[in-house]
Amino acid sequence: MPDAIDDAKRALRADLRERRQQHSEAVRAAAAEGVKVQLDALVASLGARSVSCFLSTPTEPGTHDFIMDAMARGIRV
């Protein structure tokens, strides 16, 4: 049986999905670039040779560019 915390989490996720759907392509592209910059810095600082990464949905900040660039650099994704 769902409890108040489950209901609150479900509502928050729905609200975030709705807000992301309202973002322009420019805002999504800027968010994707910010994610990529941060992930690239993290991988570089750790010297990672293998990473796991969620594939973003169309309304989420993109991870596809990071994944493609990481693979091109020989990082196992």
How far is C-alpha 65 from the geometric centre of its chain's CA atoms? 11
> Does residue 39 contact residue 45 with C-beta atoms inside 8 Å?
no
In this predicted structure, the answer to whether residue 4 has a pLDDT above a threshold of 90 is yes
Which residues are CB-neighbours of 14 under 8 A, at least 6 positions away? none
Q: Is 2 inside a domain boundary?
A: no
Q: Say whether pLDDT at 13 is over 80.
A: yes
Residue 1 has pLDDT above 60, yes or no: no
Q: Establish if 10 belongs to a structural domain.
A: no
The Cα–Cα gap between 51 and 63 comes to 12
Q: What is the pLDDT of residue 2?
A: 72
Residue 35 has pLDDT above 70, yes or no: yes
| Two tokens, residue 1 | 């049986």
Residues 55 and 63 sit within 8 Å (Cβ to Cβ): yes
pLDDT tens digit string along 37-69? 999 999 999 999 999 999 998 888 999 999 999
Domains: count for the chain: 1
